[in-house]
Structures are given as structure tokens and as C-alpha cells.
Amino acid sequence: MERRALVWLLGAAVLWGTTGTAQALGEAEGSPLSVGAVRLAIGAAGLLVLGWRHLRRTPLRWLAVGAAAMAGYQVAFFAGVARAGVALGTVVAIGSAPVVAGIADWAVRSEPPTRRWWAATALAVTGVALIAGQPEAVDAGGVALAVAAGVAYAVATLASKYLVEVVPPTTAMAAMFGVAAILLAPLLPTADLRWLGRPAGAAAALWLGLGATTAAYVAFARGLRFATVGQAATAGLAEPATATLLGVLLIGERPPGRAWLGVAAVVVALTVLATSPVSAGAATILRGRGPGLRRGRPGRGR
């Protein structure tokens, strides 16, 4: 895997990992779905400010697929976590996404997963399971929703890969999140948004939108240009490890020993991923001949 790709992808995962801490410190007490809708709306606005110039060049088919998948992910993830519990819902959703992404990459883009990627993904998913801990109960419907969230996220990542090969990363994310925010806009009038009226809640909303969404997905898109869909999804498993560390440092949480073992497993998995060979598609882009890019220079928007 191209090293700069991993740096960008890990940067995105670290920013995603701040969401739980930001919600706790900001006392964002609305329903998880309302918090997600607010985050998406603010994040989409930030992305549109950065990437509006080339919106007309965005491929409509993959834009529609990516936006629908991203909006579906928000709904399925929060609904799945509400029914299956945070631990089980998170493990199933986040853990299934890289596997589905790797298979989709193979089927749609003819990028077969390597043995190193399978090993890294298996180890990282195990680490995430250790961090989350033992679920209290199993709700079949909640698990199904969590799986649907993982599939939706994988599809959104696949669509993002096609978009960043045609338009600059900021434009790709601006278009996809802009449409996804419109799709989720009907949720806002019925949501409990009283937490936004408090300074801490407003600050949390701004961070969730501009930091954990706008900045995070710009970094993700830039890394995705030089990585396979499966590699990008696996790198995102650094998110729960980051959340664990921030919970200890900023909120005073005391996770059990197995959680620290899970963090170590994720770190080892990412090290294995970092030594993966550069994919054929990424190598083409590195030589300056990627789809939709001018010979010898990457797309503008950095």
C-alpha cells in the first residue's frame, strides 16, 4: 500500500474516532439519528465550500449510488446500534464493511484481495471485537441492520473510489455528501435538537460536522486515490482504537484489559497493511495516468 495513502486514511480514521468523545463532552443528548443528520448536514456544507468548482464533472451514476449508500449507512447504523446494542452493532457494522468492500472491489474493479490484506483485516476485526466487548444480548433484527450498514458503507467506499478517479477528492466528497444530506434532511424537523442550543452542544455539532466529517472525508478521499477499496475500509478500523484512547485520556474511562489487547491487534493489523504492495490501480495513478487525470499531474483540489 502506498504510504501516503495510509497516512491520509489513518488521519481520517483518527478524526472519525473523535465522534464519541465529542458527543460526550458536548452533551449531545438528541437521538443518535438526529446527531448523525446534523453532522451530515454541517459536514456536507463544509465539503461543498471546498469542492464546488468541479461539481458538474461528477459522474451522476456513481454519485447517486454513493449518496444513497451513505444516507442508508447513517440510518441503518444508528437503528442497528439502537436494537443490537452499541458493542454488537458497532462490531458487526464496522467489521463487516472491509470484508464486503474487498469482495466488491474484486467483483466490480477486478482488484483481488491479497493474503496480506485478508490477514490484516481478520486481525483488525478481531481487535475491534475485543475493544467492543461481550454483548449483553443478541437481537437478530439489530444485527441485520448492522450488516446492512456495513454493506452500505462498503458500497459508498466503492462509489467514492470511482468518483475520486474523475474529479478532485474534495469535489467527490462534496457531491456525495451534499446529496446524502438532502436525502436525510426530512429527519431534521422531527428530531430533538435542543442540545444545539447549548454552547457545548453547538461546539460539538461544529466539530462533528467540520472535523469528523468535512476534514475526515477529504483525508479519506485523498488516501482512497492511492489504495484499493478494501485497503481503505480496513484502515478505517483504526477508528474504535482511537475512540478507546480518547475515552481514557479525555473522559476518564477505564477499559478492561481485553480492550487494550484489541488496540494492540489493530495496530499490528495496520502495520501489516502498511507493508502491502501498491495495487495496480494506485500504481497507475502514481505514474500520472489515472482515469480522468491529466498525464503527469494529479487532479487539483489539494
Indicate whether 233 pLDDT > 80.
Answer: yes
Dump pLDDT digits (tens) for 182-220.
Answer: 999 988 888 788 888 889 999 999 999 999 999 999 999
Reference 132, options 258, 41, 253; nearest CA is 258
Indicate whether 231 pLDDT > 90.
Answer: yes
Mean pLDDT calculated for residue range 249-253 = 86
Contacts 24+ apart (CB under 8 A), 81-84: 81/32, 81/142, 81/146, 82/32, 82/142, 83/139, 83/141, 83/142, 83/145, 84/135, 84/138, 84/139, 84/141, 84/142, 84/143, 84/145, 84/146
Indicate whether 281 pLDDT > 90.
Answer: no
CB atoms within 10 A of CB 287: 10
Return the percentage of the chain with pLDDT > 70, whole number: 90
> 252: burial class by Cβ within 10 Å (0-12, 13-18, 19+)?
exposed
**What is the pLDDT at residue 265?**
95
Domain ranges of the chain: 3-286
Mean pLDDT calculated for residue range 151-159 = 97
Q: Which residue has the higher pLDDT, 290 or 204?
A: 204
Q: How far from the centroid of its chain's Cα atoms is residue 176's Cα? A: 13
Dump pLDDT digits (tens) for 88-146.
Answer: 888 899 999 999 999 999 999 998 999 999 999 999 999 999 998 877 677 889 999 99
Indicate whether 300 pLDDT > 70.
Answer: no
Tell me how long the chain is. Answer: 302
